[in-house]
Chain A
Amino acid sequence: MHTKTSSPCPALFTSKGDSPSVQVTLQFDDRPITAPAGVSIAAALLLNGVGPFRATPVTSAPRAAYCMMGVCFDCLVEVDGTPSRQACLIPVQEGMIVRRQQGASALEISSGGENHGR
């Protein structure tokens, strides 16, 4: 895996300051981050200086949000245990657990096995 996942880089994006003052806190790769209520997960990650959101399944190339409007599928992350969610289309919520997605998502096969695992 060539993707850097450690410390956040300086945020390339900042809030204009006219967003709601209410902040929500979510978990991103086991650290808390805050973002204005109502923004998308992708916006929240960019405001917090997150670089790559994921690594591609075939070549492990780093990817982050690009189109911010649901078209490019480059912002895929795991949200509350479900992989391959489009971060740009989902509003942040208090307590949400978001993870980078490294490569293809895995299926967990159990005797009943209906769900994605991690």
Chain B
Amino acid sequence: MQTQELVVIGGGLVGAAIAYGAARAGAPVTLLDQGDVAHRASRGNFGLVWVQSKGDKVPRYARWSRDALTFWPALAKELLELTGVDVALHQPGGFWIGFSEAEMEARQVMLERINSSVGGIPYEMLDHAALKARLPAIGPAVAGGSYCPLDGHANPLMLLHALHAGLKARGARVVSSVDVTQITHQKNGAGFEIKSKDGKSWRAPRVVLAAGLGNNELAPQVGLHAPVLPNRGQVLITERLKPFLPYPTNKARQTNEGSVQLGYSVEDVGLDDGTTVSAVEWIAKRAVTTFPVLSSVRLVRAWGALRVLTPDGLPIYQESASCPGAFVATSHSGVSLAAAHAQVIGPWVAGLGAAPDAFEVFAGERFLDPNRSFSNAH
């Protein structure tokens, strides 16, 4: 029997960032990572560090996303100094690209609504000519775009690597190949017993469920509700090119090493994380319409990955009322929100930081309200 103060279940971007933040705040942490059988949404992330358009009509989420972006530079710097891993954070602002005046008008209304309700999420609308001055590669079919100076991008794989390396550097234990199947809230304040499929167990007074799609089955065991569903996104990767795209966009970004990532499909196909000719064709066509110069570029990879989505697309963050000390955390924005997960959620779940204000909006019980219906942007 092993005893630790905080056990985090899930070693993807959400779990690793929370565990890192808890360890950084001084908590003894054990991270249980499922290993190679996991769906690993973190390995398929597009890599945007993004707030623009997030949290429309949910100001707390817009504010949370904004705060996360302001925490990001310090996290990237700290991880580099601590682990030597450069997560390639670049925040020059980012562009959304529109193809019609109607899209542009709807965009402006939404961005204005978000910024006026939260503040500190500035934006600019640019017509074709103004956008071409900043992104010379756009094609004639592009109507214009919106710009938010807070946005950026990073390398998701290096971020995951850096967080794991940072956990080790801060003395946390990372245990791989742990398929957690059972969590028991023990009587008389004895905390939680966490059991894996192969019979290992851990005990801790605090436990965080950050198991992605696995949260569905784990949450009810500690009085929580996390109805997450898989949603597939496919992306394409080009050969390395000399820099031609100085800003990340919602449709393509050029990495620091020259590859261009082209996004992305949105598909409800269960747990199938494969690629399809039709999606690859659609993504490639849209990319060439956006940036005609890409027409002669070679693609070197395509992949599919499963987003972890709630019915409304917003995160779930919550401490269990019936099993205090058990928390759930799930979000499909594992990169954008990484620094907030480390800075705020980590200390909170470890009992070393205050609960974030007005987080009731992120409670999982919202999905049990029969009078509400949900849709997400995906």
Contacts and interface: CB of A to CB of B under 8 A. Distances in A.
A105 B244 contact: no
Contacts of B35: none
Contacts of A58: 240, 257-258
B239 A105 contact: yes
Interface in B274-307: 292-298
A114 B240 contact: no
A57 B244 contact: no
B242 interface: yes
Nearest to B137: A109
A109 B292 CA distance: 9
State the main secondary structure of chain B at its contact with A: loop
B374 to A, nearest CB: 42
Interface residues of B, number: 16
B241 A104 contact: yes
A84, A107, A114: residue with the most chain B Cβ atoms closer than 10 Å = A107
Contact of A114 (B244, B258, B293): B293
A13 to B, nearest CB: 28
A82 interface: yes
A9 B241 CA distance: 29
Nearest to A113: B293
A108 interface: yes
A58 B242 CA distance: 10
State the main secondary structure of chain A at its contact with B: loop
Nearest to B139: A113
Interface string A52-64: 0000011000000
Contacts of B136: 109
A114 B298 CA distance: 13
B240 A109 contact: no
Interface size class of A (residues with CB under 8 A): 10 to 19
Nearest to B135: A109
A92 B80 CA distance: 48
A107 B137 contact: yes
Contacts of B244: 106-107, 109
Given A57-B258, A58-B257, A109 B293 contact: yes
A109 B296 CA distance: 12
B297 A57 contact: no
B239, B242, B293, B297: residue with the most chain A Cβ atoms closer than 10 Å = B293
A79 B239 CA distance: 16
Interface of A: 57-58, 82, 84, 103-109, 112-116
Given A107-B293, A109-B137, 20 more contacts: A57-B257, A57-B258, A58-B240, A58-B257, A82-B296, A103-B242, A104-B241, A105-B239, A105-B241, A106-B244, A107-B241, A107-B294, A107-B297, A113-B292, A113-B293, A114-B295, A115-B293, A115-B296, A116-B296, A116-B297
20 contacts: A57-B257, A84-B239, A104-B240, A105-B239, A105-B240, A105-B242, A106-B241, A107-B242, A107-B244, A107-B293, A107-B297, A108-B293, A109-B137, A109-B244, A109-B293, A114-B293, A114-B296, A115-B296, A116-B296, A116-B297
